[in-house]
Amino acid sequence: MRRKLELVVWPKLRKNLEFSQTLDCLSVKFQECCSSLRIESQNGDRYILYAEWSNSEKMRRMLKSKEFSILGGAIAILCERSDIRLDGEPFKQDIAKLSIL
């Protein structure tokens, strides 16, 4: 069963560059781990990450990776807020909770 993650983040005004650089560095590794990955920037005000995996095990490996942990830390420190949707459903918990799925 295909799994999908949509992550929308709003960087703090003065932290946009740092978040963008972090996302750029991590995106190479994410592309290796995902069946499909797309990252969009909305004028730097927000970023949308769409990731898709061919099965749950591949998704779990990515969510438990060091790189995903770094992304979670960057979001916690550099962003005002984030919205997460997993398989089209809102994920109401913190991004760090994704690693225990």
Domains of the chain (ranges; CATH) run 3-100 (3.30.70.100)
What is the dihedral angle through the alpha carbons of 89, 24, 29, 85, rounded to the nearest 10 degrees? 0
Q: What integer pLDDT is reported at residue 38 of this predicted model?
A: 96
Q: What percent of the chain has pLDDT over 90?
A: 84
pLDDT, one tens digit per residue, over 71-92 is: 999 999 999 999 999 999 999 9
